[in-house]
Amino acid sequence: MSTAVTTGRRLAPQAGEVIDRRAPLSFRWDGKTYTGFVGDTIVSALVASGVDVFSRSFKYKRPRGVLSATFHDPGCTVQVGDEPNVRAAHRRLAAGMEVSPENVWPSLKFDVGAANQLLGRFLSSGFYYKTFIKPQRLWPAYQQILGRFAAGGVTAADAEHGYFDKRYIHVDVCVAGGGPAGMAAAVAAAESGASVLLVDEEYELGGHLRYGGDADLAALAELRAEVAVHESIEVMTNAAVTGRYDMNWIAVVQRQPGISVQGHAIHERLCKVRAGSLVVAAGLIERPYVFAGNDLPGVMLSTAVRRLVNLHAVRPGDNAVVFTANADGDACAQDLRRIGVGVTVVDARTDANIRRAEGGKRVKTVELADGRRVDCDLLVTAVGWTAATPLLNMAGDRPQYDATAARFFPTDRLAANVVVAGALAGDGSTSELVAHGAAAGATAAARAGHGSEVPAPALARVPHPELYRSTTHGIVDFSEDVSSKDMFSAKKEGYDSIELVKRYTTVTMGPSQGKLESANAVAIMAEAHGVSDFNEIGTTVWRPPYVPITLGALGGRGFENTRFSPMQPWHEQHNAKPLVAGDWIRPEHYGDPAAEVANVRRSVGIIDVTPLGKLDLRGPDVPKLLNLLYVNKWSRLPIGAVRYGVMCAEDGVVMDDGVTGRLGENHYIMTTTSSGAATVWEWTENWLQTEHPDWQIHVTPVTTGYASMNVAGPKSRELLGRVVSGVDLANDAFPYMHVRTATVADIAGCFMWRIGFTGELSYEIHVPAAYGLHVWEALFDAGFDLGVVPFGVEAQRIMRLEKGHFIVAQDTDGLTLGFGADLGWCIKLDKDDFAGKPELVWQSRRDDYQRLVGMQPVDPTIVPAEASQIVEGTKKIVGRVTSSRMSPTLGRSICLGFVEPRLATPGTIVTCQLPDRRRVPLKVIEGLAHFDPDGARMRI
């Protein structure tokens, strides 16, 4: 590599740099305009422009600069436009980016919060648990103030949602980590014939090779070429495996994948991967060193310096102290010398050490263990590594500490479909790591059914000094501002397990989730406990996601099923007010529900009841099934007849109701409530498949095979007479509670039954769905002169309430047994068996349950809100109103509700408390029906 001439902080062109100097970009930071190049991260561009401080720390508001120059860099979280908490040391620069600092109220430079530094000694961890206790009434005020210190960026209520996306991926092998081992694993797996997904967090494959020397760059070029030739390898960069879940269900987040959908750039995409095997080649994360002043701007990890210098051609300082314990630190010193930075090496391997760093907005002086003081503007530490084991952890492993190599290693507790590759397993040269990766890749492929396993060549565990904390106290968790001193005192207070100290001090709980600090946290705890073996301390459990993922990506495109009837276009043209009823959109009314009621009572109206559940039942054993499902009897239902039935669950609680009609010898149609359609079908299948597989019955749901419409009102027969052929509609020929198949408006294959939910003469017509709109329109054309108008769900609710017909789950609840819903008339306890029979038998012998009754407010103008309570004395609840409406037909308010048995006698006056706390009298009526109790109108 040629010696570079530096211009300001931007170095001259050099091999391996990822910036494109022909493509300058201008952006704004903290209100000022800066420029950088394509390929720069926000931070590298700012460092090149002389910016040192990117944020203030969470608690003490200390200035923070570059530490790791990676996604996890705790001091480099910024606001970009309406996007909070952007990782500025990772996010690549884009033209016109509006970047602003976070946590710096009122400004990055002047910061009142910095006063906290003086208070620091009082703001020890958990201080808030120990104060603001009294007086209690002031706590909300204290809480307001604490809230101001909340970290992070800002959101806006009206922020643009952005385009997010998801996709499913099925591969034989998923490789997490695109360093040398990961790339080799992918290639080997592909050569075994496996399909491969290769995922890396950075923008290019290569891992640490990217910012290495000439040899590294050469090796990298080779590996990249090998990956490229294999079409069976899908490469995802700037992406991360965020979680490994049961059975290798793997979450991968793709950030700004550079895909545009109809002009919207995809912000993030969640890939849900089902992989035969997972290769974890996540590598090592360089560890910060704990000492006084270790969070000063200008104190950086060796890998941070090498990234800035070699990838982004940025000069991070002029005078450096390099505290190194390994080859990477040495290489960093080399790089610094190459670009002309003055370097003082402090070599840990010769027992030299640093004690503390001093400075204000940037490090000025380093005090060494031997007392020497060295002035510098850059302090580099290379004290060792944290193994990136979260994915292994999620796969059941609990990595063990090895004091010789001074880091954690995987154990054999790993799930068989997860394989470790590369530096996680040990140390080695590039070629050794590649060999290890290749073996891991082949083994992973074999476990996914391709080729055969290859034993991995053992990687050495190179001895490394155990360097965690100097003789001074410093920051352990940079994003939470937790110091080693905090952890010592927490332990002394009895928060002595790693989980307790984590919760008490919040160490490892911040945005970097322990990536940088977990090893140090364990080491500090071991020191506090005076134990040498870290394994006695254990580690906190890493939880998904490995890196934070946007809610947008997790939510995806939000496909929510919505169901419509064939008549929906007509409803929209006629200004129906949409009612969301589960998945269905239904007309609540067409403007005036009361008028719709009046019209039905006076002449004729039509309602769209397509959502009614319909099951086609065929076979000789159908009566057995009906007898089992319903509380009433079905053995002798004649062909052409329909019957109302109620279903109870095994606990006797009312579950569903509807009518079932017999169309032929072995052919029945069952209707259910619209919300109960799916439940009743599954319930039916359950009985047939698990209790009575010997019964000859075929069940077919035909709910939306038919468009269903109820033609109701005294003139409904006359209207139907104009469009129905093949059926004699005369009262005696087609009586109440019967069914006929017919041709309606030239559409054959319709069936219609005569029932009366509204209490009027009415026919429910079921039409082959594709002709639903045709028949619907034909009915309105034909009935124009009869004054036919549509009516909606609300009008139907009013009319059924006038008739005292209850609605399951409104006039009953999760504990209403059959007799409580006034169903004694249809519950046939003399049947051998039916669902819920035992509970109903026992209930029939009791008298202690609330009864469903019809009620009318004594003041007919008062309509109690539904769920108003029936009370006695100051607060005793003795019932409630379940349904309540103003009846246009009766010109008075009417109710259904529950009352204690002793109050159920007709004529009883009960007290109802309205939401506004007024108390009004209601009179219990005879039966449930307020209108036409003996049902004469339905039988005309």
Partner 1 sequence: MSTNGLGRRTKYPAKYSAFSLIKHGLTKADWPQAWRKHELKSSYDVVIVGAGVHGLATAYYLATNHGITNVAILDKGYVGGGGSGRNTAIVRSNYLTPEGVRFYDRSVKLYEGLAADLNFNIMFGQMGHLTLAHNDSSLRTMRWRAEVNKLEGIDSEVIGPDDIKKLVPYMDTSENTRYPILGALYHPPGGTVRHDAVNWGYARGADVRGCEIHQQTEVQSIETVDDRVVAVDTSRGRIATSTVVNCTAGWASLINAMVGLKMPLVTHPLQAAVTEPVKKFLNAVVVSGSLHVYVSQTDRGELVFGASTDPYPSYSMRGSLAFTEELAGHVLELMPGIAKMRLLRQWAGLCDMTPDFSPIMGITPVKGFLVDVGWGTYGFKAGPVSGESMAQLVATGITPENIASFDLARFPEGRLVGEKGAAAVGH
Partner 2 sequence: MIQVPCPWCGPRNSMEFRAVGESKSRPDVSTTTPEQWRHYLYTKSNLADWVTETWYHRAGCRRYFAVERHTVTNDIRESRLPAAQLRRQSDSGS
Partner 3 sequence: MSGPPIAPIPVARSPIVATPPVEVVAGWEVSTHRSTAALRVSDLTWLCKVAVKADANGAFTARHPTTFGSARRLPGDLIEIGSDPGGWLTIGPVGDAAALVERLTDEVADAGEMVSVIDLTHGRALLRLTGPDSVGALAKLCAIDLADAVTPNLAAFRSSVGSLVTDVVRDDLVDGTLSYLLHCERSSGQHLFSCLVDAGAEYGIDIAGPPI
Q: State which of positions 577-596 bind partner 3 (CB under 8 A).
A: 583-584
CA 773 – CA 771 distance, rounded (Å): 6
Would residue 166 be called left, alpha or beta, if left means φ above 0 and alpha means ψ between -120 and 50 degrees? beta
For residue 152, what are the contacts with CB-CB under 8 A and spacing of at least 6? 77, 84, 85, 102, 103
Preceding peptide of 297 cis, ω within 30°: no
561 binds partner 2 (CB under 8 A): no
Nearest to 308 by CA among 330, 339, 286: 339
234 binds partner 3 (CB under 8 A): no
Preceding peptide of 587 cis, ω within 30°: no
572 binds partner 1 (CB under 8 A): no
The amino acid at residue 520 is N
Contact partner, 462, from partner 3, partner 2, partner 1, none, Cβ < 5-8 Å per class: none
Per CB under 8 A, the list member of 50, 106, 140, 263 interacting with partner 1 is: 140
Nearer to partner 2, 302 or 843 (CB): 843
Q: Where are the alpha helices (DSSP H) in 724-869?
A: 772-782, 793-802, 837-844
CA 310 – CA 212 distance, rounded (Å): 8
815 binds partner 1 (CB under 8 A): yes
Per CB under 8 A, the list member of 258, 530, 693, 814 interacting with partner 1 is: 814
Per CB under 8 A, the list member of 489, 535, 679, 844 interacting with partner 1 is: 489
CA 236 – CA 74 distance, rounded (Å): 25
906 binds partner 1 (CB under 8 A): no
565 binds partner 3 (CB under 8 A): yes
728 binds partner 2 (CB under 8 A): no
678 binds partner 1 (CB under 8 A): no
As measured in angstroms, the least distance from the Cβ of 624 to partner 2 is 15
As measured in angstroms, the least distance from the Cβ of 178 to partner 2 is 26
538 binds partner 1 (CB under 8 A): no
Contact partner, 771, from partner 1, partner 3, partner 2, none, Cβ < 5-8 Å per class: partner 3
Contact partner, 698, from partner 2, partner 3, partner 1, none, Cβ < 5-8 Å per class: partner 3
As measured in angstroms, the least distance from the Cβ of 837 to partner 2 is 5
CA 653 – CA 853 distance, rounded (Å): 18
For the record, the structure tokens of 806 come out as 């209850």
598 binds partner 3 (CB under 8 A): no
As measured in angstroms, the least distance from the Cβ of 509 to partner 1 is 8
Considering only residues 829 to 858 of the shown chain, the ones binding partner 2 according to CB under 8 A are 832-833, 837-839, 842
Nearest to 667 by CA among 637, 646, 704: 637
As measured in angstroms, the least distance from the Cβ of 287 to partner 3 is 39
Contact partner, 504, from partner 3, partner 1, partner 2, none, Cβ < 5-8 Å per class: partner 1
User: Please, are residues 158 and 262 in contact by the beta-carbon 8 Å criterion?
Assistant: no
CA 278 – CA 199 distance, rounded (Å): 11
How big is the site for partner 2, counted in residues (CB under 8 A)?
A: 22
Instruction: Give SS3 for 512.
Output: coil
CA 454 – CA 592 distance, rounded (Å): 77
165 binds partner 3 (CB under 8 A): yes
CA 70 – CA 207 distance, rounded (Å): 12
337 binds partner 3 (CB under 8 A): no
Measure the CA dihedral 408/412/417/419, to 10°: 40
139 binds partner 1 (CB under 8 A): yes
Considering only residues 237 to 266 of the shown chain, the ones binding partner 1 according to CB under 8 A are 243, 245-246, 249, 251
Contact partner, 204, from partner 2, partner 3, partner 1, none, Cβ < 5-8 Å per class: none
Per CB under 8 A, the list member of 591, 735, 906, 915 interacting with partner 1 is: 915
Contact partner, 829, from partner 1, partner 3, partner 2, none, Cβ < 5-8 Å per class: none
Per CB under 8 A, the list member of 160, 214, 691, 781 interacting with partner 2 is: 691
The amino acid at residue 825 is W
801 φ, ψ to 5°? -70, -40
Considering only residues 751 to 780 of the shown chain, the ones binding partner 3 according to CB under 8 A are 768-774, 777-778
Considering only residues 668 to 727 of the shown chain, the ones binding partner 3 according to CB under 8 A are 696, 698, 700, 702-706, 722-723
User: Please, are residues 324 and 379 in contact by the beta-carbon 8 Å criterion?
Assistant: no
As measured in angstroms, the least distance from the Cβ of 408 to partner 2 is 24
247 binds partner 2 (CB under 8 A): yes
As measured in angstroms, the least distance from the Cβ of 773 to partner 3 is 6
User: Please, are residues 322 and 377 in contact by the beta-carbon 8 Å criterion?
Assistant: no
493 binds partner 1 (CB under 8 A): yes
504 binds partner 1 (CB under 8 A): yes
73 binds partner 2 (CB under 8 A): no
686 binds partner 2 (CB under 8 A): yes
Task: State CA 775 to chain mean position distance.
Answer: 44
745 binds partner 3 (CB under 8 A): yes
Instruction: Give SS3 for 786.
Output: helix
Contact partner, 650, from partner 3, partner 2, partner 1, none, Cβ < 5-8 Å per class: partner 2
Rounded alpha-carbon distances, angstroms, from residue 884 to 463, 864, 879, 880, 893: 80, 6, 14, 11, 7
Contact partner, 536, from partner 1, partner 3, partner 2, none, Cβ < 5-8 Å per class: none
Nearest to 422 by CA among 175, 161, 783: 175
Considering only residues 169 to 208 of the shown chain, the ones binding partner 3 according to CB under 8 A are 169-170, 195
Per CB under 8 A, the list member of 364, 667, 692, 722 interacting with partner 2 is: 692
Per CB under 8 A, the list member of 147, 263, 360, 371 interacting with partner 1 is: 147
486 binds partner 1 (CB under 8 A): no
CA 644 – CA 352 distance, rounded (Å): 91
As measured in angstroms, the least distance from the Cβ of 251 to partner 1 is 5
For residue 847, what are the contacts with CB-CB under 8 A and spacing of at least 6? 901
For the record, the structure tokens of 340 come out as 């002309």
* Secondary structure, 3-state, 197-214: EEECCCCCCCHHHHHCCH
Cβ of 454: how many Cβ atoms within 10 Å?
A: 18
As measured in angstroms, the least distance from the Cβ of 574 to partner 3 is 17
Three-point CA angle 927, 931, 935, nearest 5°: 80
Task: State CA 124 to chain mean position distance.
Answer: 35
Contact partner, 892, from partner 2, partner 3, partner 1, none, Cβ < 5-8 Å per class: none
Site string for partner 2, 193-232 (x = CB under 8 A): ----------------------------------------
By CB atoms closer than 10 A (0-12, 13-18, 19+), residue 539 is buried
CA 232 – CA 880 distance, rounded (Å): 66
* Secondary structure, 3-state, 622-665: HHHHHHHHECCCCCCCCCCEEEEEEEECCCCEEEEEEEEEEEEC
494 binds partner 1 (CB under 8 A): yes
As measured in angstroms, the least distance from the Cβ of 264 to partner 3 is 9
CA 108 – CA 487 distance, rounded (Å): 29
Stretch that binds partner 3, among 86-94, 468-476, 641-649, 741-749 (CB under 8 A): 741-749
Nearest to 576 by CA among 562, 595, 589, 593: 589
CA 259 – CA 266 distance, rounded (Å): 6
Q: Name the site residues for partner 3 (rule: CB under 8 A).
A: 165-170, 195, 259, 261-262, 272, 274, 557, 559-566, 569, 583-584, 610-611, 616, 618-620, 696, 698, 700, 702-706, 722-723, 745-747, 749, 768-774, 777-778, 781-785
Q: Name the site residues for partner 2 (rule: CB under 8 A).
A: 245-247, 249, 274, 650-651, 682, 685-686, 689-694, 832-833, 837-839, 842
